[in-house]
Chain A
Amino acid sequence: MSSGNENEGENIYKKDGYAGKRVCLRRERSMNQGFLSGGKLVRRMRSVAVYGGIVFFILFATIPLIWMILTSIKPAQEVICYPPTIISKHATLGSYVQVWHTVPFGRFILNSLAQTVPVTLATLFFGAMMGYIFSKHKFPGRDLIFMIVLSSLMLPIIIRIIPLYLMVSSWGWIDTYWALIIPELTTGFAVFLLRQFIQTIPDELIEAAKIDGASEFRIFFTIIIPLIVPALAAMTIFRFMYMWNYFLWPLVVIQNMDMRTLPLGLALFQGRYTVSYQLLMAASVISILPVFVVFLFFQRHFIRGIALTGIKA
């Protein structure tokens, strides 16, 4: 808290002498106290530290991803050079072509889509349906049943994985899409989130539709669903990202190379070609790209989704 700084403020105040100015100056001065106060040198050092910190973290977040791209366009013999070249003089997209030939990469992507899309749709559908009943219908034991459904949030896959595996394998579902899709039909979180949203829809709207003779199905599809689109959008993003990343369960139920989903294919890829980092990085870039494009366009929704739902990926 240098006196020099304060005097500066006083002087300007004396010169101008406006009452309004005074408040402004006081506020400005108090803002500058504390963390960013002190002598000029100290203050400058602190702001260097603050901006340095911000720059450091922005680099920390971006450099690895930039390195991923830079590695993926290097020719194989250059990748293992040390010291590494930053930007290859012989940059090539060869790895991006080679990836599709070394493993059934297209098949991995198709498998991932075949899992992610139905699961996301089912999550929304069942979540909205249960959320609707739990918020707009009254019957004994409703809240208890809801709490039980909600408690499924405490049961991550690892806790259920052994009995679930035995069940699914006894049905002959190993290496099938059934095993990838059916055990993930919806989540307690979707039911919870959509219930919260449907609760804000006024009962009168539903009553009016009932008086007009609309069936439950009609009410659900023409009134409820259109009104919860923002929540459905947020849920879609969460579920899609979660399933696009889903790893442990597919690892257990998929053995056949052709049935592997993208994360699984990517992970087991490395066991076979340990040194080919340019290939691995090219495959990684391809796997990130769809989510990244969606993120660029819907950044607002991603962020709002998190804000909206509290927390939970």
Chain B
Amino acid sequence: MRFVFLFPGLLYFGLFHFYPVANSFYLSFFQWSVLTTRKGKPFVGFSNYLDILKDPVFREVTWNTLYFSFWAVAGTVVLGLVLASLFFYVCPWLRKVGRGVMFVPVVTLMVAAALLWKWLFESLGLINYLLSFFGLGPYYWLVSFKLAMPAVIIMTIWKQVGFTMVIFLTALLQVPAQYLEAAGIEGAGEFQKWWYITLPLIKPITMLVVIIQIIVSFQVFIQVFIMTGGGPGNTTRTLVQYIYEKGFVYWAMGHAAAMSVLLFIAILFMTLIQFRYFGGSYKG
């Protein structure tokens, strides 16, 4: 009986998750495109991997993805934590309203959010208008080599910070009030209590948020696809976008498969770190 229950699900995971990954490995050793027939694709060993590692664009998109991930994760985690703490300790009466307001961007459709920010960052858009009051600009955000990536990062922080904030709010709820009270009686100030007691106590959840945000950031695609299309030049092209383009625009599927294998290894690596930190207690 239990196999009747289990079988469809296992079949699904096998067919649509594990088989394709194994196949990605397999395909990455062949030189081919969709246009060549299955028989006509020669085995080329590691040459797809060598091609990629020699490809300057691959290096560039990898760097862009890491750069994006660093700032997007740092921004969402630090700001989420600070905001959660402000709403929790400094003005708890604003907590519910603040939580609701900050969460609205999270429920916004990502494509719509990206279109919106593209509009805000236009040279005649709202952001340049607001900056002009401070005597700044105009900046050509999305077509500028220097500012395009920061613009994408700002948009991502806007979209995600409410999410990390909500997680930190629930984490702060679990910090035992007695500890803080005891520290207060000992004469610790608000900031000291936050720094020396709250932060160490929520360190595990913080690590978890960081790792999960890194894994999510590695896969950034929609924002750049819509806001900049990877440009100007390749300054905002990301790894996922490059895999997509290699595979489905240039039909160089061997190269795309090899890149997705490399991305898989990176994600595997992050997951292993996560397991090391959290053992078997949490599997996200």
Chain B positions within 8 Å of A241 at CB level: 107
Name the contact of A161 in the complex, choosing from B101, B124, B212, B247 (C-beta under 8 A): B247
Which residues of chain A are within 8 angstroms of B20 by Cβ–Cβ distance?
155, 159-164, 167
B212 neighbours in A (Cβ, 8 Å): 311-312
Closest to A169 in B: B34
Minimum CB–CB distance from A37 to chain B (whole Å) comes to 6
A34 pairs with B189, CB closer than 8 A: yes
| Contact A266 to B219, CB < 8 A, known contacts A33-B189, A61-B105, A137-B2 | no
Question: Is A35 among interface residues, defined by CB-CB distance under 8 A?
Answer: yes
Chain A to chain B contacts (Cβ below 8 Å), 20 pairs: A34-B191, A37-B189, A54-B94, A57-B161, A61-B101, A63-B126, A64-B116, A83-B129, A145-B6, A153-B284, A159-B24, A160-B21, A164-B16, A166-B23, A247-B221, A263-B111, A280-B119, A295-B104, A306-B170, A313-B106
Is A186 within 8 A of B12, CB to CB?
Answer: yes
- Which chain B residues lie closer than 8 Å to A53 at the CB level? 82, 86
The 4 closest A-B pairs by CB, nearest first: A34-B189, A163-B23, A35-B191, A284-B112
Give the residues from 78 to 99 in chain A that come closer than 8 angstroms, CB to CB, to chain B.
80, 82-84
Closest Cβ of chain A to B212, distance in Å, is: 5
Size class of the contact patch on chain A: 35 or more
Given contacts A27-B184, A34-B188, contact A61 B208 (CB under 8 A): no
State whether B188 touches A245 (Cβ < 8 A): no
In the bound complex, residues from chain A placing their C-beta under 8 Å from that of B17 are 152, 155, 160
Q: Closest chain B residue to A252 by CB distance?
A: B248
Instruction: Provide the residues of chain A in CB contact with B199, threshold 8 Å.
Output: none
| Per-residue contact bits, chain A 29-72, to B (CB 8 Å; 1 contact, 0 not) | 01111111100000000000011011001101111110110010
Quote the shortest CB–CB distance from A292 to chain B (angstroms).
Answer: 6
Q: Which residues of B contact A252 (CB under 8 A)?
A: 244, 248
Bound CA span A71–B119, Å: 10
Let me know if A310 is at the binding interface, CB within 8 A.
Answer: yes
Contact in complex: B19, A307 (CB < 8 Å):
no
- Asked whether A126 is an interface residue with its Cβ less than 8 Å from the other chain, the reply is yes
**Looking at the complex, which of A127-135, A200-208, A228-236 is the stretch in contact with chain B?**
A127-135
Complex Cα distance, B111 from A71, in Å, reads 17
Looking at chain A's contact residues, is the secondary structure mostly helix, strand, loop, or mixed? Answer: helix
A66's closest neighbor in chain B, by CB? B126
User: Using an 8 Å CB-CB cutoff, how does the interface string of B246-282 with A read, 1 for contact, 0 for none?
Assistant: 0110000100110011011001100100000000001
B107 touches A302 (CB 8 A): yes
B208 touches A310 (CB 8 A): yes
What residue in chain A is nearest B99 (Cβ atoms)? A303
**Cβ distance A85 to chain B, nearest Cβ, rounded Å:** 11
Query: Is there contact, CB below 8 Å, between A154 and B240?
Result: no
What chain A residues lie within 8 Å of B101 (beta carbons)? 58, 61-62
Question: Residue on B with the closest CB to A244?
Answer: B109
**B81-123 contacts to A (CB < 8 Å):** 82-83, 86-87, 90-91, 94, 98-112, 115-120, 122
Taking the closest CB of chain A, its distance from the CB of B255, in whole angstroms, is 10
Q: Select A67's contact among B18, B102, B126, B226, beta carbons within 8 Å.
A: B126
Contacts of B166-220 to chain A: CB distance below 8 A: 166-167, 170, 181, 184-194, 208-209, 212, 219
| Interface status of B145 (Cβ within 8 A of chain A) | no
User: Measured between alpha carbons, how far is A43 from B126 in the docked complex, in Å?
Assistant: 34
How far does the alpha carbon of A276 sit from the alpha carbon of B121 in the complex, in Å? 15
CA distance in complex: A307, B163 (Å): 11
